[in-house]
Structure 1
Amino acid sequence: MALPEKNLPSPKKPFNFLDIPFINKFIKSKWYPGIFQWLGMAFFGLIVFELMTGTVNPHRNWGTAMTWVLWWPVVPILFVLVGRFWCAVCPFGKISDIVRRLVGSQSPMPKFLKKYGIWLIDITFIVITWADHIFGVVHSPRGSGILLLLLLTMVVVTSVFYERRTFCKSLCFLGGLAGNYSRAGTLELRGNPDICRTCKTQACYKGSEKAEACNMFQFVRTMDNSAECNLCGDCVKNCPNDSIRISPRKPTMELWGIKKPMLEQSFLAAVIMGIVLVQNVTMLEVWDTILNGIGAITRTSSFNVNFTIAFIIAMIIPIGTLWYVSKLGSKTYLDSTTKENFIRFGYAYIPIDLAGHLGHNLFHLLTETKALYYNTMGLFGHYMTGDLAIVSEGTVQILQFILVGFGTWLSMYVVYRIGNRKSFKQLWPFYLLMLIFGILNFYLFSLPMDHRVH
């Protein structure tokens, strides 16, 4: 005789911001995200104009302050809080849309970009970071302006020839950073699988009379990550069944549930770790000692040569150590290959990447904030000087330590979840790797850091 089934509690329905009438109406309106895009384009135009025509003194240039003291430190925070929302309102994205509508040929994205786009993003990210230090882009208003104009040129060219936002998806280095960080973010857009399964229109992907097709080539029905969703709202406008939700979630929970982890994405996470190390070390007094040490070996005082060597070493360290522990795990503890471990556990770098990146940017944001006010007043002929900080460097350091501690713990927890909650004995090499990078970042933040603007 069969026993009666117990009444099991139904799964808790995720909170949906679209259930709030004001938010739902706004996202479905013509004002979203256009109002943010046009404001972004206006500020972008002013920033580029000031970078290219204003004072060459980076400490007094309004465009430099807005770019490197405000925008660059704040944008990773946005990735954590609201995913790739920045990509929805980015001036480059809006310009891409305008160009495509006016003169675009709407040809399909080349197969080469579909296959190797992330690798190109990896390479571009490395080259731009290297070029920043070689050519002093951050410390040169003209250099910063030229970089933005070069990127804008790439946006225009790709938009003339190819459909949707080909540049944003397959070539934008900031898009690659946004994709990785958004995986650890606190917001997600998803569809109701039961409703999407029966949908015949596929309007979220193909578009409709209400809005364009998804500019990032995403199909809500199959989405299992937030790496390439920029929350532009077009799918919400197009969906005939109100199937889509925008919900808060626990940070990093996506990192162990990705159905098809990819080598290039794990490689990018390791690359970002190397770049974070470079950015931190070059702001410290010990940097000169490192350069002199390399110079003693290379027997040259050329900054370009010695920095390039240091830069390559910084890239190799997180990639090589991840490969080593992946090999160690495959031989001794885990029933998987070295490559499989590298691909899976590379995502565990992302929380520490974020912690190191946010800690570095937090220093500039909080200790150079008043430069925004001083340089803005300078545009109107009122030149002011004084302390730029809004909090003490000691306070910033405490916040950096908290970020690194939390990021290290999250990375170790991601290892635990990616490893399917296996025993410590089986996963200890990966725990140790995350702990080492956490300690390294902790040590770097304990040292005095130099300012970009003073």
Structure 2
Amino acid sequence: MNLKLLKEILRVLFVYDPEARLDLFTHFPRLKSFFANRRNFAILRTFGDIIFTCLILMGLFGPQDPSSNIMLFISWGVWWTSIVLSWFFVGRMWCGVCPFPGVGRILQALGLYRKKLPLQTFAKWCAYGATGLLALILWVEAVTHMKNSPFLTALLLLSILLGATIFAALYKGQAWCRHFCPMGKIIGSAATMSILEFRPLLDKCRGCKTFACKRGKDGIPGCPVYLGAYAVKNNLICLVCGHCVPLCDRDSPRLFLRHPLKELILNKGRYLTCAYIIPFLMASQISRFIQERTYWYQSFKEFFGGLEIISYSLVLAACFVLFLGIIRLGAHLFTFYEDELFGKFSPMVPVLVPMAFTGELVYRLDYFLKEVGNFFPILSRQFHIQTFASWGFVVPEWLIVFLLKFVLVVGGIGATYVSWVFYSKEFEGLVPKKNFFAILLLIWSITLLYLWLV
């Protein structure tokens, strides 16, 4: 990599310019070759399917003592934390190698499915359904303390696998991934912060009559989520799976490097998915921190007879109402949330997105850092390999706290930057200065709440 290219990369990443982006396929041809060779993704999916199967088997039939089953750490520590980290760098690329559609792909390869497209009504209602499923998963995780139960964790994985398999039998492609996967919706929302975007060169798409990227050709299936490269406008739906790269004879699909906050700023909270996912995700994070880290919560739970299902649900509901109120208040402070051409939007949602996803990273990273030192001793107990019994270690508590608080501050800085771009550029002259400072006060009050709970 030459110095000029390095400077261009740094400029794209750190200097906000909505027009600036770097074509990675042009500068790194091997990267394009990786996407064009479908065998590469098949290998990654196969590896993921094997690990996924092992995790489920260990959860169902392995030791149920958390200190004797490594599937918990791999599932909640390694897997979940890696997925959250991937949001910031590769967007929805995880969905391109996800193991959940694995059984469905086998059924479709054998022709054991209805060759129908999903109903049009799915597109209208899927955001509500997927958000509801995500809410259910996070709620069940908290009230059952699922991170301590191999069996319940395996049941969660199986339930999502079942949903993906049923939809694969009913509709061609990956209808579950496009419309109802709760993981897909949260990853899609987070991918709006990714430094990568998969987009077409529309000049090359003009005049295309085959639409092979969407329909497929020569027996090769097209876009698994019925999108096609020419229709990709944001990171919410595209799986970054590369299906369209070898199909397009016009060399249109491209992988671009961009400023990580570009899409948030340009979309301004226009999409329904983020509007529901973000407040609930932040509410669940605050609720989980309260549940696990505060003394008063235990007294609160005892007031309801020790019933976690009631006490946690009430805290979660209160936090959800709080963040819905913050989003509405933020829209009022920005004074500008509807445009004749752009339609209605919610400017406080993109402001909160960096905080929402750094908050989720902090929650998952906390578990990873506290449990990583126990991996080899647990492996030793589970498989009776005495060599690993003494390989345990402890990550210092001060280091964990420092890392978590650093990530939270970065999230607050990201939120501040988005609000500043709105105030000074996107809504220039429309937002009173006192309103802007009130928005900053909201941002850093939320950040301080996170920091206090951590």
In 2, Cα distance between the equivalents of 1:64 and 1:260?
Answer: 35
Aligned ranges 1:52-63 → 2 under 5 Å: 52-63=60-71
CA deviation after TM superposition for structure 1 residue 360, in Å:
1.9
In 2, Cα distance between the equivalents of 1:61 and 1:259?
Answer: 44
- Structure 2 stretches of 5 or more lacking a match? 1-18
Partner of residue 346 from structure 1, selected from 344, 349, 354: 349
CA deviation after TM superposition for structure 1 residue 202, in Å:
1.7
Asked if structure 1 preserves the Cα contact closer than 8 Å seen for 2:268 and 2:347, the reply is no
Partner of residue 433 from structure 1, selected from 415, 433, 442: 442
Q: SS where residue 326 of structure 2 aligns? A: helix
Which residue is 2:297 aligned to? Answer: 290
Which residue is 1:325 aligned to? Answer: 330
TM-score by length of 2: 0.87
Label 1:18 to 1:119 Cα distance change in 2 as closer, same or farther (>3 A). Answer: farther
Which residue is 1:204 aligned to? Answer: 213
Write the deviation string for residues 228-269 of structure 1: whole angstroms up to 9, x where unpaired: 121111111111111221122221211111388223421211
In 2, Cα distance between the equivalents of 1:282 and 1:147?
Answer: 21
Which residue is 1:42 aligned to? Answer: 50
Write the deviation string for residues 247-299 of structure 1: whole angstroms up to 9, x where unpaired: 22221211111388223421211111112212222221x1x412424654xx6
CA deviation after TM superposition for structure 1 residue 385, in Å:
5.3
In 1, Cα distance between the equivalents of 2:248 and 2:169?
Answer: 28
Q: Sequence identity, in percent?
A: 20
- The code of the aligned residue for 2:196 comes to L
65-74 or 20-29, which moves further after superposition?
Answer: 20-29
Which residue is 2:410 aligned to? Answer: 406
In 2, Cα distance between the equivalents of 1:303 and 1:16?
Answer: 49
Partner of residue 204 from structure 2, selected from 189, 195, 199: 195
- The code of the aligned residue for 1:360 comes to Y
In 1, Cα distance between the equivalents of 2:337 and 2:372?
Answer: 51
In 1, Cα distance between the equivalents of 2:73 and 2:144?
Answer: 18
Which residue is 1:3 aligned to? Answer: none
Moved over 6 A (4+): none
Asked if structure 1 preserves the Cα contact closer than 8 Å seen for 2:130 and 2:182, the reply is yes
CA deviation after TM superposition for structure 1 residue 439, in Å:
1.4
Which residue is 2:368 aligned to? Answer: 365
Write the deviation string for residues 400-430 of structure 1: whole angstroms up to 9, x where unpaired: 2221111111112222334515353343443
CA deviation after TM superposition for structure 1 residue 183, in Å:
0.7
Write the deviation string for residues 340-390 of structure 1: whole angstroms up to 9, x where unpaired: 776333122110011111122222222311333333334431255568556
Partner of residue 218 from structure 1, selected from 222, 227, 230: 227
Asked if structure 1 preserves the Cα contact closer than 8 Å seen for 2:95 and 2:184, the reply is yes
Which residue is 2:119 aligned to? Answer: 110
Partner of residue 96 from structure 2, selected from 84, 88, 94: 88
Which residue is 2:75 aligned to? Answer: 67
Which residue is 1:263 aligned to? Answer: 272
In 2, Cα distance between the equivalents of 1:14 and 1:198?
Answer: 25
Which residue is 1:5 aligned to? Answer: none
305-314 or 179-188, which moves further after superposition?
Answer: 305-314
In 2, Cα distance between the equivalents of 1:405 and 1:241?
Answer: 44
Partner of residue 381 from structure 1, selected from 380, 384, 391: 384
433-442 or 376-385, which moves further after superposition?
Answer: 376-385
Asked if 1:314 is matched to 2:319, the reply is yes
Q: SS where residue 318 of structure 2 aligns? A: helix
- The code of the aligned residue for 1:201 comes to T
Q: SS where residue 33 of structure 1 aligns? A: helix
- The code of the aligned residue for 2:360 comes to H
In 2, Cα distance between the equivalents of 1:12 and 1:134?
Answer: 45
Asked if structure 2 preserves the Cα contact closer than 8 Å seen for 1:204 and 1:239, the reply is yes
- The code of the aligned residue for 1:127 comes to L
Q: SS where residue 189 of structure 1 aligns? A: strand
CA deviation after TM superposition for structure 1 residue 90, in Å:
0.9
120-129 or 15-24, which moves further after superposition?
Answer: 15-24
